[in-house]
Amino acid sequence: MERRLTLTDLRALKERGEPIVALTAYDAAFARLLDRAGVEILLVGDSLGMVIQGRETTLGVTVDDMVYHSRCVVAGSRRALVMADLPFLSCATPERAVDSAGRLMQQSGVQMVKLEAGPDAEAVVERLAGQGIPVCAHLGLLPQTVHKLGGYRLQGREPEVAEAILRRAQALEAAGADMVLVECVPAALAARLSEALTVPVIGIGAGAECDGQVLVLHDLLGVTPGPRFSRDFLAGRGSITEAISAYVAEVKARRFPGPPETLA
């Protein structure tokens, strides 16, 4: 029986300089397809609020929603590491985060949780890590704070903001984060993060020099209008399987993201 990938496997990929391939998944059927195509991380993202539930933001997604969809993804996959988002306000305090993450892991079987790095994220990460819960910290553009940010905008263009993001990433790693996901930052900053951290750095809208790449599955397939840093891999191909395989190959060869998808 094929075993699931672990954090040790992903760290080994980083050490070898081999890009890690990640995609969002929300159900068993697509999880099975992505798993067979060689996707190494399946992210059950709170993006399901927008692409599955039809909401304008991710803020209405609940822990119950995440448990349900995560259980489906775990059931449909065999090899990929499965990671699930902690939705809006579910990790507002360390105690609440432990409760939310514990539910996700116990009731769905995911191997890792991801949280957006709010003001008290270091304390939350430290508490989760102390309970043996693997954590991915999300930096850069944080969709759960979209109203405070004033929209979906590039983060870290200013030198002082870039330095703050780098220091924050290092602090989160020191607190116990096992992975960092960085969204919508300049490629040069993402490359610095990947070099500075010992844990894998997964990028979305962050250039090709991250340790890995993730996209929203529905953007990749052209089902939803993807942002500038995405690409429609189904266009010109005969099947969804071919599109997913092409994405895996392009990430592994560091041809995705290319110049058209790289933010300045």
Q: How does pLDDT run along the chain (264 residues), one tens digit per residue?
A: 579 999 999 999 999 999 999 999 999 999 999 999 999 999 999 999 999 999 998 999 999 999 999 999 999 999 999 999 999 999 999 999 999 999 999 999 999 999 998 888 999 999 999 999 999 999 998 887 654 444 457 888 899 999 999 999 999 999 999 999 999 999 999 999 999 999 999 999 999 999 999 999 999 999 998 889 999 999 999 999 999 999 999 999 999 999 999 976
Helices (H), the chain: 7-16, 28-37, 48-51, 63-76, 94-108, 121-130, 146-149, 159-175, 187-196, 217-220, 240-252
Using alpha carbons, select from 241, 221, 219 the residue that is nearest to residue 230: 219
Using alpha carbons, select from 212, 239, 261, 179 the residue that is nearest to residue 23: 212
Q: Please, are residues 203 and 214 in contact by the beta-carbon 8 Å criterion?
A: yes
Render the burial of 202-217: b for 16+ CB within 10 Å, e for the rest: bbbbbbbbbbbbbbbb
The per-residue pLDDT for 146 is 56
Measure the CA–CA gap between 32 and 105, rounded to whole angstroms.
20
List residues with catalytic annotation. Answer: 183
Query: For the whole prediction, is pTM greater than 0.75?
Result: yes
Q: Return the sign of the alpha-carbon dihedral for residues 135, 138, 143, 146.
A: positive
Query: And the tokens for 95?
Result: 């105690």
Q: Please, are residues 35 and 79 in contact by the beta-carbon 8 Å criterion?
A: yes
The per-residue pLDDT for 226 is 85
Using alpha carbons, select from 117, 98, 231 the residue that is nearest to residue 165: 117
Using alpha carbons, select from 65, 43, 168, 206 the residue that is nearest to residue 113: 43
Using alpha carbons, select from 136, 131, 96, 95 the residue that is nearest to residue 114: 136
**Structural domains present in the chain:** 7-261 (3.20.20.60)
